[in-house]
């Protein structure tokens, strides 16, 4: 019996297990392949963060942070059917609040870091709940506009607030050694991997739970969900609150990697990226957001430097990256109308039914 | 005995148009009660007032003696009132079973358990399967609701209602849009629900034939007001009803005599 369950578990989850193992070993595999150390280059007692392994870890940390942001956006947009244009606010606040607590309170680094993370969780939850409560009675587009307005307000405020360096932002310099990107990138890598994997497992459990079933019912037909007895407002608040907290945590990782916080973290482009990556990967799928986030980030990294020569004409892809991104988006929407993962799932379902 | 559902002087005006005008009806517990009338009689408006979609301009709605005029939509299901929709109104991309399972879950106490798989809470799944059995959709439990044919969607609509085990079923034109040869099958299902007992059914219907054999009492509406009320036999014999409704539609012999 127990063995039966284990076999079933392995059969359905093997791809996630293999991916986890690969991601855990990734820094060492890259280090071995490129003959560099994932711990950086030793200079006396210090380690300098350079070399291919460190470079690729940074890219993956970036992907993890972005994936958490996109997964949290997908929880609202893809599973609950709530369109927010203010998600970047939580991403940015994650960075700002952590920065303010670690740089400006004078607490010892370890305590300040933990207090900062706790503050981000609490403020994101309260703010998400508050915005939801104030506006979710509004339908669709009004909610989207309101969230955009609030997040732009926050952006303008932090862009002008002298304490946080206004437009320039400020550096994240006093953080605990064990998670400092400049001293031990590999620790930051494993912390972000843990957050990324945890978010994935959590969202999957949540969506498959009774509450998640109601999320999907609201996405499909909110009025009917009310008619069969659900107080849909409560479930939307739950979804938005969780998504806000996860958005804040993603912002923390982003700030820890960049070691700098500025108003660009609050820019609406993060919301738009999350929206596009959700659509490209597959709205309302579990792996779609990860595929969207990692695909677009990797394409950016790999194609930025590339040039294409057609006869005597040389096109620098980096210069026209946004144009190419637009083309990719149009193509994906045309070829995969339900996103890459969504379309794949539909095709598979069609073939297994016959 | 208090009627299970009662309206007192219910009136709904849209600007200058009075769609429902001073309607007072009483529905006995355990009965099957039909509300019929020609187009524009105010049937659908009355239905929306009964189920809480519209707030009345004046007048009250009572359920087992309790004033429910201002009770929000989602709480009505918890009182034991279930409603169907005239327009197909399902969760299109969820499976047939999931559509029904949600209705069973809605009235339970597991809605906010976020670390349990919904499909492992067996009681809801069993209740949903039972409801699908009653309407005869058990063979299509795992297909998305959107791929069902129109008649199947109508049956699913009923199964969603039954899964919540309501004491009062409000059906808004359950046969709307169905081919006439499919109507008897659906009426048989309603008949089966009726024979299971313990439920009161209110059917708002345009199609006279549908309700004549399937209900205990009929209220006839015309121009927003109650024109007549009685047993199917009394309504069939009512001269006024024949004039405004039966005669006009079916041109019964004797209607113009």
Retrieve residue B191's tokens.
């008949």
**Does position A354 have pLDDT exceeding 70, yes or no?**
no
Which of A137, A206, A213 is the best mutation test for B, with the most CBs of B within 10 A?
Answer: A213
Give the tens place of pLDDT for each residue, A146-162: 999 999 999 999 999 99
pLDDT of residue B40: 82
Cα angle, residue B162 at apex, residues B37 and B77 outer, rounded to 5°: 80
Q: How far is B100 from chain A (nearest CA, A)?
A: 10
Q: How far is A62 from chain B (nearest CA, A)?
A: 29
pTM comes to 0.87
Report the distance separating Cα A258 and Cα B166, nearest Å: 57
pLDDT of residue A327: 86
In chain B, % of residues over pLDDT 90:
49
Q: Which residue in B has a C-alpha nearest to residue A233's C-alpha?
A: B74
Domain ranges in chain B are 1-73+170-179+201-257, 81-165
Give burial (CB, 10 Å; 0-12/13-18/19+) of A303: middle
Which of A210, A242, A354 is the best mutation test for B, with the most CBs of B within 10 A?
Answer: A210
Chain B residues lying within 8 Å of A214, measured CB to CB? 102, 105, 111
CA A212 → CA A38, A80, B126, distances in Å? 39, 8, 19
- Nearest in space to B133 (alpha carbons), one of B150, B158, B151: B158
Of A214, A220, A221, the CB nearest to B111: A214
CA A75 → CA A3, A81, A215, distances in Å? 33, 9, 9
CB atoms within 10 A of CB B95: 15
User: Which residue is associated with the tokens 């999931």?
Assistant: B98
Interface subset of A 164-223, CB within 8 angstroms of B: 205-206, 208-214, 216-217, 220-221, 223
Residue A304 contacts B, CB cutoff 8 Å: no
Maximal CA-CA distance, chain B: 71
Q: How far is A315 from chain B (nearest CA, A)?
A: 44
**Does position B255 have pLDDT exceeding 50, yes or no?**
no
Of A210, A226, A232, the CB nearest to B113: A210
Give the tens place of pLDDT for each residue, B40-83: 888 989 999 998 889 999 999 999 999 999 998 888 888 999 88
- Considering the segment(s) B1-73+170-179+201-257 as one domain, its CATH architecture is 3-Layer(aba) Sandwich (3.40)
Give the tens place of pLDDT for each residue, B16-38: 899 999 999 999 999 999 999 88
Report the distance separating Cα B9 and Cα A344, nearest Å: 57
CB A155 within 8 A of CB A149: no
Q: Which residue in A has a C-alpha nearest to residue B112's C-alpha?
A: A211
Report the distance separating Cα A149 and Cα A145, nearest Å: 6
Q: Are B160 and A238 within 8 A, CB to CB?
A: no
Q: Are strands B81-83 and B168-172 parallel, antiparallel or unpaired?
A: parallel
pLDDT of residue B198: 84
Chain B residues lying within 8 Å of A230, measured CB to CB? 74, 102, 106, 111
Report the distance separating Cα B204 and Cα B49, nearest Å: 12
Distance of CA A351 to the CA centre of its chain: 32
Confidence of residue A41 (pLDDT cuts 50, 70, 90): confident
Retrieve residue B9's tokens.
């002087």
CB A200 within 8 A of CB A292: no
Q: Which residues contact A35 (CB under 8 A, 6 or more apart)?
A: none
Q: Are B91 and A224 within 8 A, CB to CB?
A: yes
Of A206, A211, A224, the CB nearest to B111: A211
Q: Are B116 and A210 within 8 A, CB to CB?
A: yes
Cα angle, residue B31 at apex, residues B30 and B35 outer, rounded to 5°: 140
Q: Are A229 and B98 within 8 A, CB to CB?
A: no
Confidence of residue A348 (pLDDT cuts 50, 70, 90): confident
pLDDT of residue B254: 46
Which of B80, B112, B158 is the best mutation test for A, with the most CBs of A within 10 A?
Answer: B112
Distance of CA A39 to the CA centre of its chain: 25
Of B74, B92, B111, the CB nearest to A220: B92
**Domain B81-165 top-level CATH class:** alpha beta
Report the distance separating Cα B52 and Cα B44, nearest Å: 12
Distance of CA B90 to the CA centre of its chain: 15
Phi, psi torsion values for B71, nearest 5 degrees: -75, 125
Range of the domain at A220: 2-353
Of A213, A220, A223, the CB nearest to B118: A213
User: Which residue is associated with the tokens 């403020």?
Assistant: A123
Higher pLDDT, A329 or A190: A190
Q: Are A228 and B164 within 8 A, CB to CB?
A: yes
| Mean pLDDT of all residues belonging to chain B | 87
Q: What is the 3-state secondary structure (H, E, C) of chain A?
A: CHHHHHHHHHHHHHHHHHHHHHHHHHHHHHHHHHCCCCCCEEECCEEECCCHHHHHHHHHHHHHHHHHHHHHHHHHHHHHCCCCCCHHHHHHHHHHHHHHHHHHCCCCHHHHHHHHHHHHHHHHHHHHHHHHHHHCCCCHHHHHHHHHHHHHHHHHHHHHCHHHCHHHCEECCCCCHHHCCCCCHHHHHHHHHHHHHHHHHHHHHHHHCHHHHHHHHHHHHHHHHHHCCCCHHHHHHHHHHHHHHHHHHHHHHHHHHHCEECHHHHCHHHHHHHHHHHHHHCCCCCCHHHHHHHHHHHHHHHHCCCEEEECCEEEECCCCHHHHHHHHHHHHHHHCCCHHHHHHHHHHHHHHHC
User: Which residue is associated with the tokens 């500025």?
Assistant: A262
Q: How far is A174 from chain B (nearest CA, A)?
A: 37
Q: How confident is the model over B205-212, as a mean pLDDT?
A: 79
Q: Are B94 and A211 within 8 A, CB to CB?
A: no
Give the tens place of pLDDT for each residue, A55-87: 999 999 999 999 999 999 999 999 999 999 999
Q: Which residue in A has a C-alpha nearest to residue B159's C-alpha?
A: A228
Give burial (CB, 10 Å; 0-12/13-18/19+) of A13: exposed
- When divided into structural domains, chain A yields a total of 1
Of A210, A212, A230, the CB nearest to B74: A230
pLDDT of residue B249: 53
Of B82, B89, B105, the CB nearest to A210: B105
User: Which residue is associated with the tokens 């148009």?
Assistant: B17
Q: How far is A63 from chain B (nearest CA, A)?
A: 27
Confidence of residue B94 (pLDDT cuts 50, 70, 90): very high
Q: Are A211 and B119 within 8 A, CB to CB?
A: no
Residue B62 per-residue DSSP state = E
CB atoms within 10 A of CB A283: 21
A52-57 contact pairs (CB < 8 A, 24+): A53/A27, A53/A28, A54/A185, A56/A26, A56/A27, A56/A30, A57/A26, A57/A27, A57/A30, A57/A185, A57/A186, A57/A189
Higher pLDDT, B23 or B206: B23
Report the distance separating Cα A321 and Cα A327, nearest Å: 10
CB B256 within 8 A of CB B247: yes
Residue A334 contacts B, CB cutoff 8 Å: no
Q: How far is B39 from chain A (nearest CA, A)?
A: 25
Q: Are A227 and B116 within 8 A, CB to CB?
A: no
Which of B72, B90, B91 is the best mutation test for A, with the most CBs of A within 10 A?
Answer: B91
User: Which residue is associated with the tokens 């994650």?
Assistant: A94
In chain A, % of residues over pLDDT 70:
98
| Mean pLDDT of all residues belonging to chain A | 90
Confidence of residue A353 (pLDDT cuts 50, 70, 90): low
Q: How confident is the model over A177-190, as a mean pLDDT?
A: 90
Higher pLDDT, B127 or A325: B127
Range from A200-209, A308-317, B197-206 that averages highest in pLDDT: A200-209
Find the CATH number of the domain harbouring A231.
1.10.3470
Report the distance separating Cα A321 and Cα A120, nearest Å: 33
CA A41 → CA A38, A190, A196, B186, distances in Å? 9, 19, 27, 76
CB atoms within 10 A of CB A94: 33
Report the distance separating Cα A229 and Cα B62, nearest Å: 19
Report the distance separating Cα A242 and Cα A129, nearest Å: 9
Of B74, B114, B115, the CB nearest to A226: B74
Chains A and B: how many Cβ contacts under 8 Å? 90
ipTM field: 0.83
pLDDT of residue A142: 85
Q: Three-class SS of residue B169? A: strand
Give the tens place of pLDDT for each residue, B127-154: 999 999 999 999 999 999 999 998 899 8
- Nearest in space to A281 (alpha carbons), one of A51, A39, A74: A74
Q: How far is B253 from chain A (nearest CA, A)?
A: 43
Chain A residues lying within 8 Å of B119, measured CB to CB? 208
Q: How confident is the model over A123-127, as a mean pLDDT?
A: 97
Confidence of residue B245 (pLDDT cuts 50, 70, 90): low
**Does position A305 have pLDDT exceeding 90, yes or no?**
no
CB A123 within 8 A of CB A94: no
Report the distance separating Cα B102 and Cα A220, nearest Å: 12
Residue A282 contacts B, CB cutoff 8 Å: no
């Amino acid at each position: 019996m127990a063995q039966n369950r284990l076999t079933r578990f392995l059969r359905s989850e093997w791809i996630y297990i293999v991916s986890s193992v690969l991601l855990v070993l990734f820094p060492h595999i890259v280090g071995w392949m490129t003959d560099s150390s994932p711990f950086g280059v030793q200079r006396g007692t210090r380690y300098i963060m350079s070399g291919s392994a460190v470079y690729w870890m940074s890219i993956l940390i970036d992907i993890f942070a972005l994936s958490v942001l996109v997964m949290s956006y997908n929880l609202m947009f893809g599973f609950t059917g709530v369109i927010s244009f203010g998600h970047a606010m939580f991403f940015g606040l994650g960075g700002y609040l952590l920065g303010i607590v670690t740089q400006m309170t004078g607490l010892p680094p370890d305590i300040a870091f933990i207090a900062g993370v706790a503050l981000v969780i609490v403020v994101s939850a309260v703010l998400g709940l508050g915005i939801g409560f104030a506006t979710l009675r509004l339908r669709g587009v009004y909610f989207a506009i309101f969230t955009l307005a609030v997040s732009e307000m926050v952006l303008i405020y932090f862009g002008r607030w002298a304490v946080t360096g206004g437009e320039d932002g400020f550096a994240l310099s006093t953080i605990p050694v064990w998670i400092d990107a400049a001293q031990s990138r590999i620790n930051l890598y494993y912390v972000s991997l843990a957050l990324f994997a945890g978010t994935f497992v959590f969202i999957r459990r949540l969506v498959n739970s009774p509450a998640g079933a109601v999320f999907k019912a609201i996405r499909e037909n909110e009025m009917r969900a009310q008619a069969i007895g659900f107080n849909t407002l409560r479930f939307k608040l739950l979804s938005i609150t969780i998504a806000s907290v996860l958005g804040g945590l993603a912002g923390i990782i982003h700030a820890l990697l960049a070691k700098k916080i500025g108003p660009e973290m609050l820019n609406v482009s993060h919301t738009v990226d999350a929206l596009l990556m959700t659509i490209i990967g597959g709205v309302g799928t579990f792996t779609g957001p990860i595929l969207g986030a990692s695909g677009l980030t990797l394409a950016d990294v790999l194609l930025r430097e590339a040039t294409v020569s057609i006869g005597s004409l040389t096109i620098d892809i980096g210069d026209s990256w946004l144009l190419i991104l637009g083309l990719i988006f149009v193509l994906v929407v045309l070829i995969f109308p339900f996103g890459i993962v969504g379309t794949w799932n539909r095709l598979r379902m069609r073939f297994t039914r016959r | 005995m208090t009627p299970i559902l009662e309206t007192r002087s219910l009136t709904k005006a849209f600007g200058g148009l009075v769609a429902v005008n001073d309607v007072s009806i009483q529905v006995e517990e355990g009965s099957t009660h039909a509300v019929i009338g020609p187009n524009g009689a105010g049937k659908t408006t009355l239905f929306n007032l009964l189920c809480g979609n519209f707030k009345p301009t004046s007048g009250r709605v009572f359920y087992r003696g309790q004033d429910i005029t201002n009770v929000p939509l989602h709480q009505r299901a918890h009182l034991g009132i279930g409603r169907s929709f005239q327009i197909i109104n399902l969760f299109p991309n969820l499976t047939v079973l999931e559509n029904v399972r949600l209705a069973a879950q809605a009235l339970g106490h597991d809605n906010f358990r976020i670390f349990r798989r919904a499909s492992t809470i067996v009681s809801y799944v069993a209740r949903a399967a039972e409801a699908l059995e009653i309407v005869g959709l058990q063979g299509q439990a795992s297909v998305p609701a959107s791929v069902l044919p129109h008649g199947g969607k109508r049956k699913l609509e009923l199964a969603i209602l039954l899964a919540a085990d309501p004491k009062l079923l409000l059906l808004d034109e359950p046969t709307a849009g169905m081919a006439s040869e499919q109507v008897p099958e659906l009426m048989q299902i309603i008949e089966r629900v009726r024979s299971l007992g313990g439920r009161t059914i209110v059917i708002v219907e345009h199609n006279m034939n549908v309700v004549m054999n399937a209900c205990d009492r009929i209220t006839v509406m015309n121009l927003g007001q109650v024109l007549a009320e009685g047993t199917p036999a009394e309504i069939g014999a009512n001269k006024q009803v024949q004039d405004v409704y039966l005669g006009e539609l079916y041109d019964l012999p004797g209607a113009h005599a």
